[in-house]
């Protein structure tokens, strides 16, 4: 929309809404005014504002009111603080916009420079989340509903331009130090080899599997209790954008700029800049404002979910009170076998593809650390179930992992990996509803090594059965044997076959194509069919005839048999080359 069109629409909207605002065209240097924000507790404090200059560029993305802020609230905060973003600024008694950026490098903390996002640009977000705001509401108002916003398209996330926005501080409660670090620094889903890593969506941008929140500050904060006071969502009051609620709470803090009926505008800049969203709109409480040396910030807590945030745009975030996104219910139940204790952790996370795996992993890491009360070696058996309105059936899978130094990280890893694949699958929106993870951790190593592989003959012919004997050795345990047979196809044309005994899943051979997936059901079947790490497989491979022409050996599987050793990681690989008679 052109600037003229934006202003005309804005004027029409103002008349319909009866809002007392001042347009950018009427603002001049030297004008005096004030802003509203909460520095601590539940008191909305006033700070003074003087207009220094007006930036009126083509379009509206770079339109700002340059101000100097002053007063006790600014002095106590050590300047303009993160979390003040969205603080309404009034000139001549009319709403001019939202405090959104600060010159944090400036030495003057008594009268710091700041930028105000003009209100007319923010009203575009209001029109997006509540296009009928200029129309009368039904007599019975708007009732709280679960989700109901599936028509909102997903927009790929992009990074905001680095022009100094007051990054909304992300507050996290219920997280240990290292779970907090994983949230702030991110982690890589490719931490270990797995066939599923090949399904990570490389086309979404960045490094496939590398996940991070994309914010400048994550702060450990006390959890809000039922007795923690919070202000109603009014201009100048704190507001939260929730990403996770429950036993773990994660959310960004900002300030309410405007409330129009049940619609709320805040921040004056983007949070994660994801466009259409389904975040949680929450109340918030500010404990105090920390005058940090790099940039002051509000220390607070995300409170009760009161609605949803459905727009995360350049000029504002916008939400609706009473319309609550359904989110994804995550339930971790972890048993520590060494102490015969069990720990549960429940959290609801937002249904946002870019954040899903990260939030799931962080919650699972916290659950594991709480259950084990240690960091160290062990073996973990994991079973998880993932459901969704868009899935043809629940996905159910079991696996086992072993670590010599940190077993807890494997409790949520595979479930997070699969959740990421489902979120970005090419067939349809899974509309995930629940993720349930049950895990049992043993303190020692439950492992079985493939020691040797034998056959009764040294050469075979097409159509022959190959009888084998596999020798297995448990970790510091007894030696066992597994025997069986595989059949060489009668029509095979190959100079030899390779008989291989191995544990867990294996990489795809060059003579094998990628899995053929034509539906979401195919994807679920493929994921569930991948051998777990407690699976022993004996497989027969042949040489691809095409590879003989090009002079490079390509193998492909022709027959195989598998068995599970529940709870024990099977490791090692042994193979035999068996000539085919007559070739």
Model pLDDT, residue 180: 92
Model pLDDT, residue 191: 82
Of 539, 541, 543, 561, the residue nearest 552 (C-alpha): 543
Crossing angle between the packed helical segments 410-423 and 353-372, to the nearest 10 degrees: 170
Task: State the Cα–Cα distance between residues 548 and 99, nearest whole angstrom.
Answer: 70
Of 483, 468, 498, the residue nearest 580 (C-alpha): 498
Give the tokens for residue 309: 């945030």
Task: Rounding to the nearest 10 degrees, give the CA dihedral for residues 166, 168, 170, 171.
Answer: 100
Are the beta carbons of 87 and 255 closer than 8 angstroms? yes
Q: What is the mean pLDDT of residues 76-105?
A: 86
Distance of CA 415 to the CA centre of its chain: 13
The pairing of beta strand 569-571 with beta strand 447-455: parallel
Q: What is the mean pLDDT of residues 143-152?
A: 34
Residue 151 confidence (pLDDT) above 60 = no
pLDDT digits (tens, 9 = 90+) for 26-45: 999 999 999 999 999 888 99
Task: State the Cα–Cα distance between residues 248 and 113, nearest whole angstrom.
Answer: 36
pLDDT digits (tens, 9 = 90+) for 336-392: 999 999 999 999 999 999 899 999 999 999 999 999 999 999 999 999 999 999 999
Task: State the Cα–Cα distance between residues 482 and 191, nearest whole angstrom.
Answer: 32
Are the beta carbons of 42 and 229 closer than 8 angstroms? yes
Task: State the Cα–Cα distance between residues 400 and 569, nearest whole angstrom.
Answer: 6
pLDDT digits (tens, 9 = 90+) for 504-558: 999 999 999 889 999 999 999 999 999 999 999 999 999 998 876 677 889 999 9
How high is the mean pLDDT of the chain? 86
Task: State the Cα–Cα distance between residues 22 and 7, nearest whole angstrom.
Answer: 11
Model pLDDT, residue 502: 97
Q: Which residues contact 4 (CB under 8 A, 6 or more apart)?
A: none
Model pLDDT, residue 58: 67
Task: State the Cα–Cα distance between residues 399 and 396, nearest whole angstrom.
Answer: 11
Is residue 551 packed enough to be buried (19+ CB in 10 Å), middle (13-18) or exposed (0-12)? exposed
Q: Where does the pLDDT of residue 221 fall: very low under 50, low under 70, confident under 90, or very high at 90 and above?
A: confident
Q: Which residues contact 101 (CB under 8 A, 6 or more apart)?
A: 64, 85, 114, 115, 163, 164, 165, 166, 269
The pairing of beta strand 210-211 with beta strand 187-188: antiparallel
Q: Which fold has domain 3-129?
A: Thrombin, subunit H (2.40.10)
Give the tokens for residue 552: 């490079």
Of 80, 129, 96, the residue nearest 313 (C-alpha): 129
Are the beta carbons of 228 and 284 closer than 8 angstroms? no
What stretch of H or E contains 367? helix 353-372
What stretch of H or E contains 313? none
SS3 content of the chain, % helix, strand, coil (to 5): 20, 40, 40
Task: State the Cα–Cα distance between residues 481 and 469, nearest whole angstrom.
Answer: 7
Give the tokens for residue 173: 């409660």
Q: What is the CA radius of gyration of the chain?
A: 30
What stretch of H or E contains 515? none
Model pLDDT, residue 165: 55
Q: Where does the pLDDT of residue 138 fall: very low under 50, low under 70, confident under 90, or very high at 90 and above?
A: very low
pLDDT digits (tens, 9 = 90+) for 442-489: 999 999 999 999 999 999 999 999 999 999 999 988 899 999 999 999
Residue 405 confidence (pLDDT) above 90 = yes
Tokens 């076959």 correspond to 497
Model pLDDT, residue 144: 37
First to last CA, the chain: 73
CA distances from 74 to 40, 96, 237 (A): 12, 19, 16
What stretch of H or E contains 570? strand 569-571
Are the beta carbons of 481 and 467 closer than 8 angstroms? no
Q: Which of 202-216, 243-257, 306-320, 548-562 has the lowest mean pLDDT?
A: 202-216
Task: State the Cα–Cα distance between residues 477 and 461, nearest whole angstrom.
Answer: 38
Are the beta carbons of 118 and 97 closer than 8 angstroms? yes
Sign of CA dihedral 77, 79, 82, 88: positive
Q: Which residues contact 529 (CB under 8 A, 6 or more apart)?
A: none
Residue 50 confidence (pLDDT) above 60 = yes
Crossing angle between the packed helical segments 353-372 and 177-185, to the nearest 10 degrees: 160
Q: What is the mean pLDDT of residues 148-163?
A: 32
Residue 77 confidence (pLDDT) above 90 = no
Are the beta carbons of 345 and 374 closer than 8 angstroms? no
In 516-555, which residue ranges form alpha helices assigned H by DSSP?
Answer: 520-529, 545-550
Give the tokens for residue 479: 């030696």
Model pLDDT, residue 13: 46
Task: State the Cα–Cα distance between residues 145 and 320, nearest whole angstrom.
Answer: 11
Q: Where are the domains of the chain?
A: 3-129, 146-155+165-324, 328-442, 447-579
Can you spell out the DSSP letters for 105-142? T-S-SSS-EEEEEEHHHHHHHHHHH-TTTTSPPPTT--
Of 289, 264, 272, 226, the residue nearest 86 (C-alpha): 264
Task: State the Cα–Cα distance between residues 369 and 178, nearest whole angstrom.
Answer: 9
Task: State the Cα–Cα distance between residues 544 and 558, nearest whole angstrom.
Answer: 11
Model pLDDT, residue 289: 85
């Amino acid at each position: 929309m052109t600037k003229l069109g934006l202003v005309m629409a804005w004027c029409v909207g103002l008349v319909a809404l009866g809002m007392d605002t001042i347009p950018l065209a009427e603002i001049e240097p030297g004008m005096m005014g004030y802003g509203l924000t909460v520095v601590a507790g539940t008191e909305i404090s006033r700070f003074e504002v003087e207009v220094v200059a007006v930036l009126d560029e083509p379009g509206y993305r770079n339109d700002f009111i340059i101000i100097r802020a002053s007063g006790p609230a600014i002095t106590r905060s050590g300047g303009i603080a993160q979390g003040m973003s969205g603080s309404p600024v009034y000139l001549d008694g009319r709403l001019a916009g939202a405090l959104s950026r600060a010159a944090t490098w400036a030495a003057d903390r008594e009268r710091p420079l700041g930028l105000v996002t003009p209100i007319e640009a923010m009203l575009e977000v209001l029109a997006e989340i509540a296009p009928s705001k200029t129309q009368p509401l039904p007599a019975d108002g708007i009732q709280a509903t679960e989700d109901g916003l599936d028509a909102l398209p997903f927009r790929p996330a992009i990074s905001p331009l680095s022009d100094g926005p007051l990054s909304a501080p992300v507050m996290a409660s219920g997280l240990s130090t290292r779970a907090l670090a994983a949230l702030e620094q991110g982690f890589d889903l490719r931490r270990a080899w797995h066939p599923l890593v090949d399904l990570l969506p490389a086309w979404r941008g960045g490094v496939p599997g590398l996940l991070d929140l994309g914010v400048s500050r994550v702060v450990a904060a006390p959890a809000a209790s039922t007795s923690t006071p919070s202000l109603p969502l009014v201009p100048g009051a704190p507001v939260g954008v929730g990403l996770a609620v429950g036993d773990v709470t994660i959310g960004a803090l900002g300030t309410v700029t405007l409330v129009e009926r049940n619609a709320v505008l805040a921040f004056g800049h983007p949070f994660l800049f994801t466009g259409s969203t389904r975040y949680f709109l929450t109340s918030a409480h500010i404990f105090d404002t920390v005058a940090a040396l790099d940039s002051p910030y509000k220390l607070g807590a995300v409170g009760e979910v009161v609605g949803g945030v459905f727009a995360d745009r350049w000029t504002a975030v916008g939400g609706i009170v009473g319309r609550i996104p359904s989110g994804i219910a995550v339930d971790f139940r972890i048993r520590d076998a060494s102490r015969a204790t069990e720990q549960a952790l429940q959290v609801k996370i937002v249904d946002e593809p870019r954040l899903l795996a990260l939030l799931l992993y962080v919650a699972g890491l916290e659950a594991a650390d709480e259950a084990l009360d240690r960091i160290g070696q062990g073996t973990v058996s994991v079973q998880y179930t993932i459901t969704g309105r868009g899935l043809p059936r629940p996905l159910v899978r079991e696996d086992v992992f072993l670590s010599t130094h940190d077993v807890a990280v494997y409790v949520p890893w595979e479930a997070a990996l699969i959740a990421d694949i489902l979120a970005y699958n090419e067939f349809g929106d899974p509309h995930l509803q629940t993720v349930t993870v049950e895990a049992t951790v043993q303190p020692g190593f439950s492992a079985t090594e493939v020691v040797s592989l034998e056959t009764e003959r040294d050469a075979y012919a097409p159509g022959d059965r190959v009888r084998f004997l596999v020798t297995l050795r448990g970790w510091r345990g007894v030696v066992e044997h597994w025997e069986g047979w595989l059949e060489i196809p009668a029509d095979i044309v190959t100079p030899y076959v390779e008989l291989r005994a191995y544990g867990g899943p294996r990489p795809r051979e060059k003579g094998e194509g990628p899995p053929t997936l034509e539906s979401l059901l195919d994807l679920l079947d493929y994921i569930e069919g991948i051998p777990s790490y407690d699976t022993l497989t004996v497989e027969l491979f042949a040489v691809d005839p095409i590879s003989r022409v090009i002079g490079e050996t390509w193998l492909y599987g022709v027959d195989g048999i598998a068995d599970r050793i529940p709870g024990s990681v099977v490791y090692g690989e042994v193979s035999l080359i068996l000539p085919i008679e007559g070739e």
